[in-house]
């Protein structure tokens, strides 16, 4: 019915105005990312406008900036290990939550998602207080344990999402045909949950890689991650080297966004 | 082979066997799901429950100068933040910042969410992705972007000076104005995401129906669109509020030391003054504030029926 139009639609001036408003709001939303890209190519010695010319010198400076390189190394090591750990912890837990029935199921599921409800500054404080006496501050172990809490919910959620869209009949069929549990998992369940595992994995990677507050509390002095180094640099310097670095960080995020969008849809994965 | 034998075997089974078999599978199932859950539960215990519990316990200790901690069980640490006017100020500022950022963020996100919810364009998926993609970029980088835009030599001040509209640069950073602008933008993707999910009952058909029954554009909006999007708006506001009152990076960088909120105060007490019990007490206060807001929210959603 709705496509049958009895009245010819008149020109409505509200429509383009609304379109313009939405466009401007998108511009506002993307403004900080766009401006960082512009500044990273500007030849101005200190932060100012308008750009005096184009240059790649800030990008050429990056490899010589040892704090950035050191931070990049720490962040990459942490993010890779965190991703592997939370996949190993989160995927089986999501399987249990979807494929089995037990009493406290709803409670266990909310427990797995609850770290996202606690302010990261509060968690970070708890971590530095507990890890200090245990000798875990300023160590890889300390940062990694800290990041596990805030990345597990994403893996659980995306894996549950892919499990929810399929029923258990494929697995039952494989079992009836004589496959043992491991074969069923490897040949049937894993392909089913693959999108969720990939999406959860790359989200866990980028969340850990970009995380600043826990890293700042747990390892500011001894083992600064890249976001901590950027934070310090931004506070103390006014040149655009950090803009070039930021563009690289944005590109890494963009790669993650593309992967997540491809395998399961960004909106579904982050809901 | 097993497939062929199963029906015959089943026939021979008695009721008692059936019960035993069921129990055996149940036990095996139990073992399986416990084994699957255990690693994750242990991981969260170590990285989430223990730190939080230890932090709460720490808030009942007493801090002495030079980072000395007196092991005791007292509420003394809570007395200062709850009686000292300075900490009342900080808590109120934090609360006020949360409300302001929440309202502004909902206002700027609503048109985008409405547009995305209604859009039938083939680029809708891409436009949704662009709107929420900034969620996965570093908060430090986005805050830095705002420093470039709002700073003394930043985009806005340089443009206005270039146009001859101002003589002295506007003070847009190192104060609450800058922090607010930055936070509104940083939390927009969260708000948009919450709104799109919350607009479940909003449909263009309903609006069309109201329009064809003679309601003006304005009336359609105030009587149909807005009431139906209210649950989504409320969820978005609440989400942004709780995110805003606990955020640290943006107040620290855009506030430049002159914006004191609970989060920056917790950091200063922890790393600068080494007063851990005090920092812990402030964190507990922040958590209580969280709990209160969520309780109020649940009451409200029940009333609206969303």
CA atoms in the 13 A half-sphere facing the CB of A119: 28
d(C-alpha B149, C-alpha B173), whole Å: 10
Closest C-alpha to B289, from B88, B74, B48: B88
CA dist A16 → A19, A131, B210, B222, B252 (Å):
5, 56, 22, 20, 39
Residue contact A246–B145, C-beta within 8 A: yes
B49-64 tens-digit pLDDT: 999 999 999 999 887 7
Q: Note whether A167 and A236 are within 8 A (CB).
A: no
Share of chain A above pLDDT 70, in %: 94
Which residues in B lie closer than 8 A to residue A111 (C-beta atoms)?
41, 44
Minimal Cβ distance to B137: which of A118, A123, A250: A250
Give contacts of A 179-198 with B, CB under 8 A. Answer: none
- Hey, of B133, B152, B269, which one would you mutate to test binding to chain A, going by the most A CBs within 10 A of its CB? B133
Mean pLDDT of chain A: 88
Q: List the single residue in A with minimal CA-CA distance to B253.
A: A235
Average pLDDT of span B14-38 = 76
H-type alpha helices, chain B = 2-12, 15-44, 50-58, 76-83, 85-118, 124-132, 139-150, 155-162, 176-198, 204-212, 217-220, 226-246, 249-255, 262-267, 276-304
Q: Which residue has the higher pLDDT, B130 or B274?
A: B130
d(C-alpha B16, C-alpha B163), whole Å: 91
Going by the DSSP 8-state scheme, the letter that residue A7 receives in this structure is: S
- Hey, of B118, B141, B264, B282, which one would you mutate to test binding to chain A, going by the most A CBs within 10 A of its CB? B141
Which band of pLDDT confidence, cut at 50, 70 and 90, is reported for residue A45? Answer: confident
Query: B184 CB contacts (<8 Å, ≥6 apart)?
Result: B101, B104, B105, B108
Report the gap between the CA of B254 and the closest CA in chain A (Å): 10
Which residues in A lie closer than 8 A to residue B251 (C-beta atoms)?
none
Interface contact A145, partner B, CB < 8 A: yes
Which residues in B lie closer than 8 A to residue A22 (C-beta atoms)?
111-112, 115
Q: Which residue has the higher pLDDT, B163 or B250?
A: B250
End-to-end CA distance of chain B: 55
Average pLDDT of span B77-87 = 87
Q: What is the dihedral of CA A243, A245, A251, A254, to 10 degrees?
A: -80
Minimal Cβ distance to A50: which of B125, B158, B290: B158
Residue contact A32–B146, C-beta within 8 A: yes
d(C-alpha B138, C-alpha A208), whole Å: 10
Share of chain B above pLDDT 70, in %: 91
d(C-alpha A240, C-alpha A47), whole Å: 7
Residue contact B112–A22, C-beta within 8 A: yes
- Hey, of A100, A118, A119, which one would you mutate to test binding to chain B, going by the most B CBs within 10 A of its CB? A119
Angle between helices A66-99 and A140-164 in degrees, nearest 10 = 40
Report the gap between the CA of B297 and the closest CA in chain A (Å): 14
d(C-alpha A204, C-alpha A120), whole Å: 15
Closest C-alpha to A123, from A141, A148, A106, A140: A148
Q: Note whether B142 and B190 are within 8 A (CB).
A: no
Cα B216 to chain centroid distance, Å, stands at: 37
Please check the confidence at residue B12 and state whether its pLDDT lies above 70. no
Going by the DSSP 8-state scheme, the letter that residue A2 receives in this structure is: T
Which residues in B lie closer than 8 A to residue A97 (C-beta atoms)?
37
Interface contact A43, partner B, CB < 8 A: no
Task: For residue A161, say if its preceding peptide bond is cis, omega within 30 degrees of 0.
Answer: no
Instruction: Please return the burial class of B198, using the count of CB atoms within 10 Å of its CB with bins 0-12, 13-18 and 19+.
Output: buried
Angle between helices B139-150 and A226-236 in degrees, nearest 10 = 20
Closest C-alpha to A94, from A104, A108, A79: A108
Interface contact A246, partner B, CB < 8 A: yes
d(C-alpha B13, C-alpha B16), whole Å: 8
Residue position matching structure tokens 């969410």: B113
Structure tokens at B171: 């003070």
Report the gap between the CA of B114 and the closest CA in chain A (Å): 9
pLDDT given for residue A13 in this prediction: 64
Minimal Cβ distance to A21: which of B111, B134, B246: B111
Which residues in B lie closer than 8 A to residue A146 (C-beta atoms)?
47
Which band of pLDDT confidence, cut at 50, 70 and 90, is reported for residue A207? Answer: very high
- When the candidates are 3.90.1150.10, 3.40.50.970, 1.10.3720.10, 3.40.50.150, the CATH number that belongs to B104-261 is 1.10.3720.10
Minimal Cβ distance to A29: which of B131, B141, B151: B131
The domain locations on chain B are 104-261
Average pLDDT of span A151-156 = 96
Minimal Cβ distance to A31: which of B3, B149, B270: B149
Residue contact B139–A210, C-beta within 8 A: yes
Minimal Cβ distance to B33: which of A100, A127, A146: A100
pLDDT given for residue B81 in this prediction: 82
Q: Which residue has the higher pLDDT, A31 or B289?
A: A31
Which residues in B lie closer than 8 A to residue A92 (C-beta atoms)?
35-37, 39-40
pLDDT given for residue B275 in this prediction: 87
Structure tokens at A229: 């180094």
Residue contact B52–A126, C-beta within 8 A: yes
Minimal Cβ distance to A31: which of B185, B217, B252: B185
* List of domains in chain A: 11-57 (no CATH), 59-270 (1.10.3720.10)
Q: List the single residue in B with minimal CA-CA distance to A132.
A: B51
Give contacts of A 53-82 with B, CB under 8 A. Answer: none
Structure tokens at B185: 């933008």
How many beta-carbon pairs below 8 A join chains A and B?
Answer: 264
Closest C-alpha to B217, from A1, A9, A23, A2: A9
pLDDT given for residue A175 in this prediction: 81
B164-211 tens-digit pLDDT: 888 888 889 889 999 999 999 999 999 999 998 877 667 777 777 877
Instruction: Please return the burial class of B119, using the count of CB atoms within 10 Å of its CB with bins 0-12, 13-18 and 19+.
Output: middle
Q: Could you tell me which residues are beta bridge partners of residue B51?
A: none
Provide the whole-model pTM: 0.88
Interface contact A39, partner B, CB < 8 A: yes
Please check the confidence at residue B257 and state whether its pLDDT lies above 90. no
Q: List the single residue in A with minimal CA-CA distance to B181.
A: A28
Neighbours of B295 (CB within 10 A): 10
Mean pLDDT of chain B: 85
B94-144 tens-digit pLDDT: 999 999 999 999 999 999 999 998 888 888 889 999 999 999 999 999 999
Residue contact A203–B136, C-beta within 8 A: yes
Which band of pLDDT confidence, cut at 50, 70 and 90, is reported for residue A61? Answer: confident
d(C-alpha A166, C-alpha A57), whole Å: 52
Closest C-alpha to B197, from B162, B148, B232: B232
Query: A140 CB contacts (<8 Å, ≥6 apart)?
Result: A74, A77, A78, A81, A223
Which band of pLDDT confidence, cut at 50, 70 and 90, is reported for residue B93? Answer: very high
End-to-end CA distance of chain A: 33
Which band of pLDDT confidence, cut at 50, 70 and 90, is reported for residue B16? Answer: low
């Amino acid at each position: 019915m709705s496509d049958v139009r009895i009245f010819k639609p008149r020109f409505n001036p509200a429509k383009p105005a609304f379109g313009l408003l939405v466009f401007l709001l998108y511009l506002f939303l993307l403004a900080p990312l766009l401006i960082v890209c512009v500044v990273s190519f500007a030849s101005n010695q200190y932060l100012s406008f308008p750009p005096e010319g184009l240059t790649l010198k800030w990008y050429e400076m990056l490899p010589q900036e040892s704090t950035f390189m050191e931070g990049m190394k720490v962040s990459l090591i942490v993010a890779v290990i965190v991703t592997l750990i939370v996949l190993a912890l989160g995927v089986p837990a999501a399987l249990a939550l979807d494929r089995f029935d037990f009493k406290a199921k709803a409670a266990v599921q909310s427990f797995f998602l609850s770290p996202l409800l606690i302010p990261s500054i509060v968690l970070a404080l708890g971590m530095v207080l507990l890890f200090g006496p245990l000798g875990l501050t300023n160590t890889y172990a300390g940062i990694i344990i800290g990041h596990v809490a805030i990345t597990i919910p994403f893996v659980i959620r995306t894996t549950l999402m892919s499990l929810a869209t399929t029923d258990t009949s494929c697995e039952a069929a494989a079992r009836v045909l004589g496959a043992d549990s491991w074969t069923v998992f490897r040949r049937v369940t894993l392909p089913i949950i693959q999108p969720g595992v990939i999406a959860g994995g790359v989200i866990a990677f980028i969340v850990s890689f970009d995380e600043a507050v826990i890293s700042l509390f747990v390892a500011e002095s001894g083992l600064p991650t890249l976001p901590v180094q950027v934070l310090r640099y931004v506070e103390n310097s006014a040149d655009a080297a950090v803009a070039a670095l930021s563009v690289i960080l944005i590109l890494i995020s963009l790669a993650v966004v593309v992967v997540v969008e491809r395998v399961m849809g960004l909106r579904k994965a982050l809901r | 082979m097993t497939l062929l034998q199963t029906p015959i075997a089943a026939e021979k089974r008695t009721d008692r066997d059936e019960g035993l078999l069921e129990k055996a599978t149940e036990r095996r199932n139990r073992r399986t799901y416990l084994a699957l859950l255990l690693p994750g539960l242990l991981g969260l215990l170590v990285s989430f429950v223990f730190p939080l519990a230890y932090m709460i316990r720490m808030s009942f200790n007493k801090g002495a100068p030079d980072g000395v901690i007196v092991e005791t069980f007292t509420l003394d640490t809570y007395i200062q933040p709850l009686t000292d006017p300075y900490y009342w100020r900080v808590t109120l500022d934090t609360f006020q910042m949360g409300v302001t950022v929440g309202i502004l963020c909902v206002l700027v996100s609503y048109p985008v969410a409405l547009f995305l919810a209604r859009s039938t364009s083939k680029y809708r998926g891409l436009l949704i992705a662009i709107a929420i993609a900034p969620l996965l970029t570093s908060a430090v980088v986005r805050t830095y972007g705002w420093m470039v835009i709002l700073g003394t030599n930043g985009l806005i001040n340089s443009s206005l000076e270039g146009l001859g509209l101002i003589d002295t640069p506007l003070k847009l950073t190192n104060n609450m104005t800058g922090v607010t602008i930055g936070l509104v933008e940083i939390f927009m993707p969260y708000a948009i995401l919450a709104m799109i999910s919350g607009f479940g009952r909003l449909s263009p058909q309903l609006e069309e129906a109201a329009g064809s029954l003679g309601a003006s554009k304005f009336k359609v909006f105030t009587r149909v669109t807005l009431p139906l999007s209210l649950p989504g708006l409320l969820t978005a506001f609440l989400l942004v509020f709780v995110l805003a009152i606990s955020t640290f990076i943006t107040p620290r960088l855009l506030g430049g030391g002159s914006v004191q909120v609970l989060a920056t105060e917790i950091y200063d007490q922890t790393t600068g003054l080494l007063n851990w019990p005090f920092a812990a007490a402030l964190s507990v206060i922040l958590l209580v504030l969280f709990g209160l807001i969520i309780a109020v929210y649940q009451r409200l959603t029940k009333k609206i029926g969303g």
